[in-house]
Amino acid sequence: MFRLLLWAALIAAAYWLWRRATRPARPVEKPESATPMVRCAHCDIHLPREHALAQGERWYCSQKHLERGAKPGAR
């Protein structure tokens, strides 16, 4: 009985190795490129640069914050 189980395990392992060796390689998935993020000078929230409003070297998350300007003590 033990011999039968041993042979079954060996055949299963050989089949598994054969299938693994003959299967075509999976294509490498390229991760999406990271979107540049900026910090709102008024509320310190981070948002994608493409959605931000710029004034000089400062970025803002909304027109309202752009009009109010940077908070006191801003970097």
User: What pLDDT does 1 receive?
Assistant: 86
- 63 within some domain: yes
pTM for the structure as a whole: 0.54
Amino acid in the structure at residue 6: L
- 4 within some domain: no
User: What pLDDT does 33 receive?
Assistant: 81
- Give how many domains the chain has, as a whole number: 1
Q: 32 is written with which tokens?
A: 């999406």
Q: Which domain holds residue 50?
A: 37-68
pLDDT, tens digit only, all 75 positions of the chain: 889 999 999 999 999 999 988 888 888 888 778 889 999 999 999 999 999 999 999 999 999 999 998 887 655
- 62 within some domain: yes
